Amino acid sequence: MAETYLSGIQPSGLLHLGNYFGAIRQHIALQDQPGEHFYFIADFHALTSLRDPERLREYVREVAVTYLALGLDPERSVLWRQSEVPEVLELAWLLGTVTGMGLLERAHSYKDKIAKGLKPNVGLFTYPVLMAADILAFDSTRVPVGKDQVQHLEMTQDMATSFNHAYGQEVFRRPEPLLAEAEAMQKVPGLDGQKMSKSYGNTIWIFEEGGKLKKTINRIVTDSRPPEEPKDPDGLFLFDLMALFLPEAEVAEWKERVRRGGEGAPGYGRLKGVIREAMEAYFAPARERRRQLLADPAEVDRVLAAGAERARERALRTLERARRACGLR
C-alpha cells in the first residue's frame, strides 16, 4: 500500500531558517517519494495562543506563500487551511471520548508551555487530541516530525488503538514517525547561539534580503578577539550558520583560515558577509517566486480552496467509518 505523508505548521509569524531547515525543506523533498502528500496550515491550533484575527489571516497567507515559493507543488501535494476541513473537529470529539486524562496530562508540550507562563486553557490541554484527528483523518502512514514531537505521535497511536479496541474494528490506521535526516535534526542556531526560535527573538526570516538582511546578520553575537588571533572554529556558531548554505569543503577552508589566524585571516565581519551573500543566493529563486505569488493573491486562494476540497473528501471518508463504528450512522 502506498505511503501517505502528512504534516502541519502553525501560522505564528514569519517563517525563519529554523523552520526551513528543520521541517519545510524535508516536506518539499518528500514530494519526490511515491504516495500521497498532505500539508495543512494549523489555524485551529494557533487559536490556543493567538487572539488577533487580522494577524491570523496574515500569518496563514504567509505560510501558504512560503511553502509555494519554496517548491511545494499543488499537483503533487495537498495544501489547505485546517479550519476549512471541519471534519477533524468531529473526529477530535470522537477520539476524546476514548482518551484518558492521564495521557494528556503527560504531554511534554503542555507542561513546557505552562512552565513558561502561558495561561492554561482547554484548547491547549486537548491540543494532542486535535493533532491526532489531523493525522488520523487522512489515513496517514508517515508523519515527518522532530524528536521533540515524537511524543505527540505516540499519543496519536495510543488514541487510534484505544478507539479501534473500544469499537472492535480497525477504524484508524496506525501512523509512524518519519524522523528528519541527521543534519536536519541539528539545531539551527539563532543570532545569539541558542536554538533559533520566535520565543527567543533570535530568528532570521527566510526571505530577508538587502540592507535588512545585512543588519540582521550583523547582530549575530561574537566576541572581541581580533581577526589575526587564532581561534577554534568549532567554538564559533557562525560556522553552523555558514554550513547551511555552503558546500562542506568551502566551510572547511574558512575554518582553517580562522584556525591559523595571522595576517589575512578573516574577521567576524567578513564571515558574516559570507553568510549573508550565501543566504541571498540560496533563496533568490524562492524570493522571486514569492513576489509573483504576492502579486497574484487569487492564485494562492485557488490553491488553498482546491486543497481544502481534496482534504475534506478524504477526511469525510474516515469520519464516516468512525461514525458507523460508534453507532452514529
**Is 215 annotated as catalytic?**
no
Q: Which of 111, 147, 198, 214 is catalytic?
A: 198
Q: How far apart are CA 63 and CA 85, in angstroms?
A: 17
- Residue 201 region, left (φ>0) first, then alpha (ψ -120 to 50), else beta? left
Q: Which of 111, 119, 147, 195 is catalytic?
A: 195
User: C-alpha cell of 214?
Assistant: 545585512
Helix (H, G, I), strand (E, B) or coil at 171: coil
62-82 in b/e burial notation, b at 16+ Cβ within 10 A? bbbbbbbbbbbebeebbbbbb
Farthest CA pair distance, the chain? 80
Contact 149, 185 (CB under 8 A): no
* Residue type at 201 in one-letter notation: G
Q: Which of 113, 187, 214, 231 is catalytic?
A: 113
Q: How far apart are CA 81 and CA 311, in angstroms?
A: 10
- Closest to 165 (Cα-Cα) out of 87, 100, 88: 100
**Could you give the residue numbers annotated as active site?**
113, 195, 198
